[in-house]
Structure 1
Amino acid sequence: MLSLLCPLLLALSAAPLHAREPVLFDWFQYSGHDATFEQPLPAGSYRNPVLAGFHPDPAVVRAGDRFYLVNSSFAYFPGIPVFESRDLVHWQQVGNAIERPSQLDFDGLGMSRGVFAPTISYRDGTFYVVNTAVDNGGNFLVTAKNPAGPWSDPVWLKDIDGIDPSLFFDRDGKAYLLNNGEPEGKPRYDGHRAIWMQQFDLAQRKPVGPRKVLIDGGVDPSKNPIWIEGPHVYQREGWYYLVCAEGGTGPDHSQVVLRSRWVWGPYAPYEHNPILTQRDLDPGRANPITNAGHADLVEGLDGSWWAIFLASRNYGGVHYNTGRETYLLPVTWKDGWPTILEHGRAIPQVLAGPAFIDRKATQAPMTGNFTWRDEFDKPALDRAWMQLRVPKQPWADLTAQRGKLAIHPLAEGLDTLRNPSFLARRQQHLAFEASTSLTVPTEAGTEAGIAAFQNERYWYFLGVRRRGAGLQVFLQRSSAGEASTLATASIADAKTLKLKITADAGAYSFGFDADGKGWQWLRRDDDGTILSTDVAGGFVGAVVGPYARTETDQ
């Protein structure tokens, strides 16, 4: 299902002026075939994750009969995707809160910096997204009347440090800004943080009045809890509920809740915290889902409550190339307290959906097994495509030749801290195949093909370049910033070339087909754990897509 991308990439479709001939890509196809996604889906049920692949730090809001969700995007552009749903299960991207190059600039940042953990709120016809631009300006607010955009330029919240800001609208009309920050005084230990709150003036777009610490350390300060963050306040039946993540975003991640009769507290913790975690399960269990936390609660159309949160699907005990994904579970209320998942229970991948679920809709291509193909025959790029950082010049062109993507190669390699001429879409499966067909570059000095990328230090590039009267297919890999050529194959001159990357957990294979003569493997079962978060570090997942550049060794 194709949809039009933001105004930036509409502008990028205008043919730029470049010295080199563009590389023409005829199509790009991505197919996922995870065994766990083959589980039958009964009527009225849904599949977790609801947003597969790199969709971390979800936040959700209801506006009328629709739900809107945002995710972290770090140094990718367009940033902060905005999704819409009628039933919390079936999501479609409608826009991006960071949609114009003038809003933010990510040059010089690693892929896991940039925009962290956005939250989305709604009041009186206006949507509010508050967020932190890490190493890039701090906390800010953007607004829109339509979640599809346009979104405003950032309003910087200069007096608020820390991360993970969120807005709470009380029933008396007052608004409050919450965030994670250092505690009062000196932190007692590494990871000691606090949750702060301050009244927020919507008209002036700034916090006002005194700030107050609502939680210092976590729900049990005697245990030196780490990284209390992601705060949200909800009001229900005379109580204010403060729900936060705790324990860091790795295997010890969890969700905790406190409550108070007054918005300013004091907040008392639930005796059965955490209300969501997977840290107490056997790490050797089959098909593990880990890292669960960073939840946001929302009331459904029928009065039921639901939790949107992040978690990861692992292989080999510790690896996950698909990053942190978005999950959905019902919330159970008992004795005035919410619970997302009972202690010791694994997150289910298939379960009954809300009573208001759309029984005719499909969750693909957001989750499940599917084949997604872009013929590059639309007036603008599909919203699934992202770029590394903010482009400074147009290089992606859909108008040069109808039905083809023209990439004007830049000199930037995948190790750059700027914007290379690489279009990226999320790896959403542990087992997948990504392939493309391109017209072989006619000029020496141009390399083009398909890349699998985690960050500027960990990636693969399967490409083709001219060597003498023929062509050379090559595979390059960067691990820990050390780039090397793993394999090459000389082939006769060809007009078209198909390239593919297949993966099964940590085994990545790379093949080519010249002029339809049949697939050949250039390298089989290379160690693709270099694209996993535990190896590459950071907070993003792997992506794949077409890439072209001018040769760096010319």
Structure 2
Amino acid sequence: MSLLLAAAVARFDWFEYRGDDKLPKPSPSEYANPILQGFYPDPSITRVGDDYYLINSTFDWFPGIPIFHSRDLVHWTQIGNAIDRPDQLDFKSLGLSRGVFAPDISWHDGTFYILNTCVDCGGNFVITAKDAAGPWSNPIWLPDLEGGIDPSLFFDADGSAWIINNGAPPGTPLYDGHRAIWVQRFDTETLRSFGPRTMILNGGVRPEEKPIWIEGPHIFRKDGWYYLIAAEGGTAENHSQVVLRSRAVIGPYEAFSGNPILTQRDLPRDRPNPITSAGHADFVETPNGEWWATFLATRPYAGDFYNTGRETFLMPVRWADGWPRITDPGAVIPWTAPKPNLQSDGRSAPPTNGSFTARDEFNSTKLPLNWMMMRNPREHWWRIGDGQLTLQARPVALGDNGNPSFLARRQQHLNATATTALRFTPTAGGEAGLVALQSDEYFYFLSVGENEGKPVIRLHRRAGPNEPKIGAVVKEAALPVPAGTAVYLRAEARGANYDFSWSADGRRWHILVKDADGTILSTKRAGGFVGSMFGVHAYQPQSVTTERGRG
């Protein structure tokens, strides 16, 4: 006799996401912030002619580093992912907030460059492409950066190229968070850094105040000056952006007396509808000489609690007396503002901000560009096509720090609903369903399972590393639906509260758990740098086997 694996599969007919935060609506001459809602942190931007390209951090999510395109800086369409092959990087079993941090995109002489750091998985690297949509090359590693992070490229008018990055200061750091900014030559032919590394900023713009985490540096040139911009203060509520300038790329650099040029830390914490934690900016100049900044910020629903992660915002850059500024002291980041003076194509596909509904019917054979999984896949456990997404149920739990059978898209609103239709026949403890997840240790899993051979609906919750890796069962109820027929599952977020429901027909809904604690899906509770995701998951705790004859 031989034993063959009989893979249990879960089939999802469609997945619908809806969100509405009742934010101010822009007039026809305005745009709305954030321009990319949800987990889109650390934006970097470049222009090629009349086209703009923007990328974000994705940490240990795969595929990673989304590539967006726009003609007007307002409407953005994802055209690819820079890390889209499992062999480009190896995220191993790292925590979900390790991996690719703060990428930088630039273009020079027909080639796109992305510089980045794979934290705990290789260090600093460069990848290139002729088309921003890809394919992107395998990484070329940059060991000369000596363990720093956040590298970026600057191309000078004489054709020379320079790498700027965050690194340790000389000697022993004076305090926790004491970092420095370094610059070094870069060879675009060999894709290697070379020559001496020069420190151009130690600690921050006011060293006597012991500033922390100077990072995300960029250099650009304007009117004979070299400008260095960088984030300072950490990525929480004290986040900010600062600027310095010099007559030479290697310095010395003079700090602007009006720093920071972007922050929200000087505003009352109890203000209504706050935008917080602003920083990590990158600048771009339009063909008509306007300057704009993309940057990250957050939208808490209470205090410092937000589940949507760090999002991408847009604001104009104003110049006065040779210095740039984004926000004035005490000024709030606007929800709406006049559009850039650019020709608009008026489309974002799928929608990236405002109130919208997005429905995936799974008619293509490829994973939607905005869908991701946790870490690199080692096998192909999903299939898309013919109006279904099929997941193989495998013995990898959401809390295993692995690559579970889980595909997800971002929660982009504080008030959002995710709904799906599932066909699954549970056996031997298998479960499949809908997930709201912040990390391996903090998630909800609304599943169809079985209890003594009878179908049940369950809500699992994991709220810390000491809880079961599939999550503890919060509530279970009998599921009066024949095994294998469609069951409709729904998760509804209302700020700090989440409701989990099911339906047998997609019309009459039954709430399994109401007002579940959504703060476990916040960065404040879960830690890290990512945002909450909605997705679908299939799990089988053990191999299911069937017996077949010798033949």
- Does the residue aligned with 1:535 lie in a helix, a strand or coil? helix
Is the 8 Å Cα contact of residues 75 and 346 (structure 2) preserved in structure 1? no
The letter of the residue matching 2:478 is S
The letter of the residue matching 1:29 is E
User: What are the Cα deviations for residues 159-202 of structure 1, in whole angstroms up to 9, with x where unaligned?
Assistant: 21210000100000000001001101111111110000011111
Residue of structure 1 equivalent to 2:149: 163
Q: How does 1:401-416 map to 2 (within 5 A)?
A: 402-416=386-400
1:486 deviates by: 0.5
1:446 deviates by: 2.2
| Partners of 2:447 and 2:303 in 1: CA distance | 32
Residue of structure 1 equivalent to 2:76: 91
Residue of structure 1 equivalent to 2:548: none
User: What are the Cα deviations for residues 65-121 of structure 1, in whole angstroms up to 9, with x where unaligned?
Assistant: 101111000000001111111111111111111110110111210100000000001
User: What are the Cα deviations for residues 406-432 of structure 1, in whole angstroms up to 9, with x where unaligned?
Assistant: 111111110011100000100000001
| Partners of 2:31 and 2:535 in 1: CA distance | 28
1:366 deviates by: 0.5
- Gaps of at least 5 residues in structure 1 are 1-16
- Does the residue aligned with 1:173 lie in a helix, a strand or coil? coil
Q: How does 1:339-418 map to 2 (within 5 A)?
A: 339-358=325-344, 360-361=346-347, 365-399=351-385, 402-418=386-402
Distance 1:508-1:311 versus aligned 2 partners, 3 A rule: same
| Partners of 1:553 and 1:342 in 2: CA distance | 60
User: What are the Cα deviations for residues 251-309 of structure 1, in whole angstroms up to 9, with x where unaligned?
Assistant: 00000000011111110010100000000000001111111000000001311000000
Residue of structure 2 equivalent to 1:223: 209
1:433 deviates by: 0.5
Output the TM-score relative to the length of structure 1.
Answer: 0.94
Residue of structure 2 equivalent to 1:191: 177
Residue of structure 1 equivalent to 2:475: 487
1:516 deviates by: 4.7
| Partners of 2:217 and 2:479 in 1: CA distance | 57
| Partners of 2:343 and 2:314 in 1: CA distance | 13
- Does the residue aligned with 1:35 lie in a helix, a strand or coil? coil
Matched, 1:324 2:310: yes
Q: 2:454 aligns with which of 470, 494, 497?
A: 470
Is the 8 Å Cα contact of residues 397 and 539 (structure 2) preserved in structure 1? yes
| Partners of 1:219 and 1:107 in 2: CA distance | 37
- Does the residue aligned with 1:316 lie in a helix, a strand or coil? coil
Matched, 1:53 2:38: yes
1:205 deviates by: 1.0
| Partners of 2:416 and 2:5 in 1: CA distance | 34
Q: 1:542 aligns with which of 520, 528, 532?
A: 532
Is the 8 Å Cα contact of residues 5 and 543 (structure 2) preserved in structure 1? no
Q: How does 1:497-508 map to 2 (within 5 A)?
A: 497-508=487-498
| Partners of 1:293 and 1:517 in 2: CA distance | 44
| Partners of 2:389 and 2:345 in 1: CA distance | 36
| Partners of 2:34 and 2:350 in 1: CA distance | 11
1:381 deviates by: 1.8
Residue of structure 2 equivalent to 1:303: 289
Matched, 1:21 2:11: no
The letter of the residue matching 1:445 is G
| Partners of 1:491 and 1:56 in 2: CA distance | 40
The letter of the residue matching 2:377 is P
| Partners of 1:458 and 1:33 in 2: CA distance | 24
1:469 deviates by: 4.9
User: What are the Cα deviations for residues 118-148 of structure 1, in whole angstroms up to 9, with x where unaligned?
Assistant: 0001001100000000000100000000011
The letter of the residue matching 2:510 is Q
**CA RMSD, 1 decimal:** 1.5
Matched, 1:460 2:432: no
The letter of the residue matching 2:362 is F
Distance 1:32-1:469 versus aligned 2 partners, 3 A rule: same
| Partners of 2:75 and 2:507 in 1: CA distance | 41
Residue of structure 1 equivalent to 2:227: 241
The letter of the residue matching 1:148 is A
1:35 deviates by: 1.9
The letter of the residue matching 2:396 is E
Distance 1:176-1:245 versus aligned 2 partners, 3 A rule: same
Matched, 1:30 2:17: yes
Distance 1:516-1:186 versus aligned 2 partners, 3 A rule: closer
- Gaps of at least 5 residues in structure 2 are 545-551
Q: 1:182 aligns with which of 165, 168, 173?
A: 168
| Partners of 2:542 and 2:472 in 1: CA distance | 13
Residue of structure 1 equivalent to 2:419: 435
| Partners of 1:520 and 1:553 in 2: CA distance | 32
- Does the residue aligned with 1:227 lie in a helix, a strand or coil? coil
Output the TM-score relative to the length of structure 2.
Answer: 0.95
Residue of structure 2 equivalent to 1:67: 52
Is the 8 Å Cα contact of residues 77 and 350 (structure 2) preserved in structure 1? no
- Does the residue aligned with 2:144 lie in a helix, a strand or coil? coil
Matched, 1:146 2:131: yes
| Partners of 1:263 and 1:202 in 2: CA distance | 18
Distance 1:405-1:86 versus aligned 2 partners, 3 A rule: same
The letter of the residue matching 2:487 is L
Q: 2:404 aligns with which of 409, 416, 420?
A: 420
- Does the residue aligned with 1:159 lie in a helix, a strand or coil? helix
Identity of aligned residues (%): 52
Is the 8 Å Cα contact of residues 444 and 467 (structure 1) preserved in structure 2? no
Residue of structure 1 equivalent to 2:523: 533
Residue of structure 2 equivalent to 1:6: none
Matched, 1:108 2:96: no
Is the 8 Å Cα contact of residues 253 and 293 (structure 1) preserved in structure 2? yes
1:515 deviates by: 4.1
User: What are the Cα deviations for residues 308-333 of structure 1, in whole angstroms up to 9, with x where unaligned?
Assistant: 00000011111010000000000000
Distance 1:333-1:103 versus aligned 2 partners, 3 A rule: same
1:18 deviates by: 6.1
Q: How does 1:240-319 map to 2 (within 5 A)?
A: 240-319=226-305
